[in-house]
Amino acid sequence: MDLGISGKRAIVCASSKGLGRGCAEALAAEGVNLVITARTAATLNETAAYIRDKWPVEVTAIAGDITTVGGRKEVLAACPDPDILINNAGGPPTGDFHDWSIEDWMKALNANMLTPIELIKATVDGMRARKFGRIINITSSAVKAPIDILGLSNGARAGLTGFVAGIARKTVIDNVTINSLLPGPFDTDRLRGNFEAVSKASGASVEDIRKQRAASNPAGRFGTPEEFGAACAFLCSDKSGFITGQNILLDGGAFPGTL
Ligand code: NAP
């Protein structure tokens, strides 16, 4: 299927690794020119070089923290009028809510709720004026089924989801859709980090936790960044203008609800 987005411009936040990188690669494969971001310049530049080598697209790498005003400013200066915006940032740490201070909450809210809202605010009016826009927020399955040790994520991402539910119904009149992708367990550094936290708390080895978690998923495995990117690219396509305000779970069937 031709997704009809060749030549479009995308900002893909937090995309040197993992799910963000999966999205960047899938968009590049469709001919989308990219601005990719991450804090660590070396890894980011390697990813940019890999993508440029594999697909004939422009890739601009902006090293910086997307959760800061300055970091966002640099990204928007590199691409002030994107057609596609993929909101993503590192997830908050695991822990027990008794230990979290207001500062811990502000950090999580800033990264996983306010940063995407700021980037939407900066880009959505231009998309509406140009009559094409696709905004995807990478959130978490925790939006649908909270994960006890990830309370900061449960809370912050639910806030973003509520906000987006309101505006996604306003922008679609101008062919600007806003949707969220909710990853369940995907095989990335982030998931490995969560296993390490569980291992510390439980005493079980990381490898045993990994095997047990993979086996407990209905698919018998974790998802891959490539699968995640493919779903993202479809939602960014010119075929998906009638899908907006949706929260799409990619979890191998782990969520047990009928709907
Ligand atoms: P990952 O493999 O650890 O990759 C995270 C990427 O984001 C890296 O490129 C990282 O590079 C970049 N990054 C992190 N913080 C950043 C910041 N402040 N500014 C700019 N770039 C930043 O993580 P992932 O698994 O892809 O997870 C992506 C998101 O999905 C996270 O919010 C995570 O909580 C959520 N999620 C993941 C899973 C899963 O199973 N993997 C499940 C549910 C939710 P630098 O470190 O160099 O900045």
Mean pLDDT of 88-97: 94
d(CA 172, ligand 1 centre) in Å:
28
Threshold 0.95, pTM exceeds:
yes
Q: Which long-range contacts (CB under 8 A, 24 or more apart) does 190-195 make?
A: 190/18, 190/90, 190/91, 191/222, 194/94
d(CA 189, ligand 1 centre) in Å:
8
Residues within 6 Å of ligand 1 by CB: 14-20, 37-40, 43, 65-67, 88-91, 138, 140-141, 183, 185-186, 188-191
Residue 257 has pLDDT above 90, yes or no: yes
Q: What digits encode the pLDDT tens for the residues 155-195?
A: 999 999 999 999 999 999 999 999 999 999 999 998 998 89
Q: Is the dihedral of CA 141, 144, 148, 151 positive or negative?
A: positive
Beta carbons within 8 Å of 253's beta carbon, 6+ residues apart = 217, 218, 219
Residue 197 has pLDDT above 90, yes or no: no
d(CA 108, ligand 1 centre) in Å:
13
Atom of ligand 1 nearest to the CA of 111: 18
Cβ atoms 204, 238 nearer than 8 A = no
Give the C-alpha separation, 33 to 18, whole Å: 19
Q: Is the dihedral of CA 153, 156, 162, 168 positive or negative?
A: negative
Residue where the block lists tokens 């060749």: 6
Of all protein residues, whose CA lies closest to atom 23 belonging to ligand 1? 190
Hey, which of 12, 13, 17 would you mutate to test ligand 1's pocket, going by the most ligand atoms within 8 Å of its Cβ? 17
Dihedral angle, C-alpha 47, 53, 54, 60, nearest 10 °: 50
Atom of ligand 1 nearest to the CA of 40: 47
Can you state the angle between helices 69-78 and 115-130, rounded to 10 degrees?
20
Mean pLDDT of 82-93: 97
d(CA 18, ligand 1 centre) in Å:
6
Atom of ligand 1 nearest to the CA of 65: 19
Q: Which two tokens stand for residue 121?
A: 């605010």
pLDDT value of residue 194: 85
pLDDT value of residue 159: 98
Give the C-alpha separation, 157 to 137, whole Å: 10
Mean pLDDT rounded to a whole number for the chain: 97
Give the C-alpha separation, 117 to 132, whole Å: 19
d(CA 188, ligand 1 centre) in Å:
8
